Structures are given as C-alpha cells and as structure tokens.
Structure 1
C-alpha cells in the first residue's frame, strides 16, 4: 500500500536507498526526461489520476491557467514505473523536483508500486496538495475541456498534453473515461 505519510518539501525529502523507482501518471509516462534502465506498467493503490491541477506554468499561466494531472486520494492508478540506477538517482530526482514543483502544488511521496510482472517496489511519485490554491478538485467535462482548449504555457498547448496522455494510456490499454471525454470534446 502507499506510504503517503512521508510527504515533505523536496528540499527535505529522503530518497529510498538503492535504485530509484519513479512513478509517472501524466506526461512522465510519455516524456520522462531522465535516463532510466527499466520501464514497466505499474499500479499505485490508494491514489487515482485526475485532471485536477490548475497549471500556472507548464500548460497555462497564473492569469489564464490550464489543467494538468494530479494524483488524488482514493482508488488506484495505472501508470509507468521507471528504474533509475542508485548513482543517478539524486540527479534524476533533482530534475523531477525542478520540473514538477515549479509551484508547490505537488509533494514528493514515497510509495509502494506493483509492477506488471508481480514485483512490489518502493518508489517515488508526486501527489497533489489539496490545500494548495492550484487544486481544482472535481470539474465537469465541459469546464475541463473549455479550460484545456484555450490554455497554453511554457511547455506548450494544454490540448497537446491531454491528447498525448490519452494516447499513452491507450497504448498501455488503460481506460480513463473522464480524460477521454475531455479529449473528445477538444
């Protein structure tokens, strides 16, 4: 099960010993941006993927926010687990902290992942902070699609982010009805 009691700011976050398993559930699945030696489909119990974060940088701006994924509490999430060798783990984590924590809407969390081959591994992921003003909560398909359609940030158009994530989930044979409905509405 997820160990979500270790949420801390990145500066005080302690990485697990040995190789680092990183769990991606949004753009990390299709654009990890760090070197890794293995990638597997993985399941994270206790959290689910949701288009629930107002993006003030990557896919929108503070005055015109976009929407990106967050790992919210409850359910489970299928995504990608990447193994980074121990010697490269600090650099990969620094890269991810800089990428994911441009604003403090995400918290690094130590979790236990179930890989498709049955192994359980300790890993790290980024979960949404529900107390942060960027937490959007539950939105309707119409509101989400309208936001995504008009938003663009430093990493590109919000619609591209949603379409790429849906395409990656399809390649992994994962269904996300809400996200698919938002993509169809675009």
Structure 2
C-alpha cells in the first residue's frame, strides 16, 4: 500500500512505513481551499489547509509517497488515517511518479491519496491571497496554529522540490 502526502502527511506521518519517496502526481493543483475545523481551526473560526483540485493533465503536485506494509495498513494505519482525514476527505487512487529535481522517474506506482470534494461544506474555494494569509495567520485548532501548518509545508516542499516556487503553495 502506498499513500501520497501533499499536505501535513509530508512532515507528520505518525504511522509506520517501510519506505518514503519524494515525487509527484499529475493532473492536480495544490490550493489552500479547504476549511479546517478539526485540526488548524475550530468550527467558529476555521483555518485553511491544502486540498488538491483537478488541474490540467500536465499539472503536477510534488509530495511524499510512503509505502506501508499491508499488515500495518490493515492493523490500524488505515483507520488512523481515515480518522485523521475525517474533515471531509475521501480516499482516491492515482499514479505517483518518483523523482527529485535532478531525476524525474518515468515508472509510476499507484497511490492512495485523500481528497476533498468541491461540493463538501469544508470546501473553502478561492479567495484573494491576502484573505487566505490573514486566515492562516490568526487561526488555531487542536493540532496547533494554522501558520505552523504553512511553515511546515513550505519547509517540506523546499526539501522535496526546491525548484517549485513557494508562491504556488499559497494559492
């Protein structure tokens, strides 16, 4: 079983894995278009976290894929991730392409990733970057400050794909 992390799973796994590989998925865009009422915000003051939205076939989103032993997946990791991503995300399958900025792999592997639907109540949608930044600056939830999420994501992306422009993360 392979899981693809494009948000907090990049830096906060909290589950056993046998391998971790940087790379990307195609056909998506990463955006801060998801309300977080259970981790980086609260229902009365939601934070904003990333979700993937459909993009063009050549669009890519860099992240980290984790191989999880089938025994671990069935004995708790699946339930742990389903609970962690309970705020409106559901599991989907896509292809992951391993690589880094100097080496882009051509062999893909099927991964599971958690996506939120644009029909879900937690779908925040687009907003001016200043509004998104203001929300991230002031929001706080059970998992901590929303700005820590942004900082950890930016750090993770600089580690995985330093060639990707950071401003793309903020959209």
TM-score normalised over the length of structure 2: 0.88
1:139 corresponds to 2:127? yes
Q: Distance in 1 between matches of 2:169 and 2:98?
A: 23
Per-residue CA deviations over 1:112-153 (Å, capped at 9, x if unaligned) read 111114431111000121001211111211001110111000
Tell me how far 1:178 sits from its aligned partner.
3.8
* Aligned CA-pair RMSD: 1.4
* 2:73 counterpart (78, 86, 89): 89
* 2:136 counterpart (137, 143, 148): 148
Alpha carbons 1:49, 1:71 under 8 Å: kept: yes
Aligned CA distance change for structure 1 residues 77 and 124 (closer, same or farther; 3 Å): same
Q: Distance in 1 between matches of 2:166 and 2:82?
A: 26
The 10-residue stretch of structure 1 (37-46 or 170-179) with the greater mean CA deviation from structure 2? 170-179
Aligned counterpart, 1:10: none
Per-residue CA deviations over 1:128-184 (Å, capped at 9, x if unaligned) read 21001211111211001110111000100000010110011111213331435x8xx
Aligned counterpart, 1:80: 64
1:115 corresponds to 2:117? no
Aligned counterpart, 2:102: none
Per-residue CA deviations over 1:26-83 (Å, capped at 9, x if unaligned) read 1100111111111111211111211110111100011101000101111321100000
1:24 corresponds to 2:9? no
Alpha carbons 1:141, 1:178 under 8 Å: kept: no
Point out where structure 1 has 5 or more consecutive residues left out of the alignment.
1-19
Number of residues paired by the alignment? 160
Q: Distance in 2 between matches of 1:179 and 1:109?
A: 22
TM-score normalised over the length of structure 1: 0.81
What does residue range 22-101 of structure 1 map to in structure 2 within 5 Å? 22-74=3-55, 75-90=59-74, 91-101=76-86
Per-residue CA deviations over 1:97-120 (Å, capped at 9, x if unaligned) read 10011x3x2111011111114431
Q: Distance in 2 between matches of 1:120 and 1:137?
A: 30
